[in-house]
Amino acid sequence: MDVLWGERPTPRRGPRPAFDTERIARAGIEIADREGLSAVTMQRVAESLGVTKMALYRYVPGKAELVALMVDIGLGRPPAVDATSWRAALTAWARELFLRFYAHPWSLEATRGARLIGPNELTWMEIAVAALADSGLDGAETLDTVVVLTGHVRSLGEQTRAYDTVSAEDPLTSGFQAILTGREDRFPAVTAAFASAAASGKTNQALDFGVDRILDGVETLIASRR
């Protein structure tokens, strides 16, 4: 809590601190972006900054706190949403959140399970909840909407990154086509679906499709209250 939300006290004696928590976290982000979260250690971060590991403990107590900082700084503050409706606002919000997770795939792993969140991450939630403030949904329904959208974004982030190793141009389609080749008779429905999607040019639209269907349901619920 102190590392994410508070000001760590500056040592009164000795030389002026050469680092701050953001600089240390960004050094960890660079390592995680290249090599994954497992490669991030206090020792590696210290080496990248040209200091001893013990020097970092003046700012960050350990790896758990370091990763928490990395997540909050990596996601960053959300962009201002200039939208005419709650639906347009949440659509833009979901797309931007996907891009942040995609840019830092390790953050998907780092944000699983119970944990404290930082000011940037809470600001993402604030913007999404505020978009629904006048929708007629109660607090629980509003929070659940944000949870469902976030789950969809995270799921697509993980899948997209996984398939990136297959092909940079059309990872999902090319990966399945390689598997289906020579097995079309065994999986005719899947083969036909991929052929239809390729012909229509509507491949790799799962993010927007899912967001639209989630918000269709929310819109129906809101309309029913009227």
Q: Count the Cβ atoms, other than its own, within 10 Å of residue 205.
A: 11
For 109-117, what is the mean pLDDT? 90
Q: Across residues 104-120, what is the average pLDDT?
A: 92
Kindly report, residue by residue over 155-190, the tens digit of the pLDDT: 998 888 766 643 444 555 666 778 888 899 999 999
| CA 108 to chain CA mean position, Å | 6
Q: Is the dihedral of CA 143, 145, 147, 149 positive or negative?
A: negative
CB 98 within 8 A of CB 204: no
Average pLDDT over residues 125-133: 95
pLDDT given at position 172: 55
Residue type for position 166: V
pLDDT at residue 220 tops 80:
yes
Nearest in space to 55 (alpha carbons), one of 23, 3, 19: 19
Question: Exposed, middle or buried, 158 (CB in 10 Å: 0-12/13-18/19+)?
Answer: middle
Please report the domains of the chain, with CATH numbers, ordered by start residue: 2-75 (1.10.10.60), 86-225 (1.10.357.10)
Tell me, what's the pLDDT at 170?
54
What are 160's two structure tokens?
């997209």
| CB-based contact 118:69 (threshold 8 Å) | yes
Q: What is the pLDDT of residue 17?
A: 57
Residue 11, pLDDT > 50, answer no
pLDDT tens digits, 12-30 = 555 555 678 999 999 999 9
Give the CA count within 13 Å in the CB-facing half-sphere of 89.
21
> How many whole angstroms separate alpha carbon 26 and alpha carbon 53?
16
Q: Of 65-74, 86-95, 165-174, 196-205, which gets the smallest average pLDDT?
A: 165-174
| Average pLDDT in the chain | 87
Q: Greater confidence, 43 or 162?
A: 43
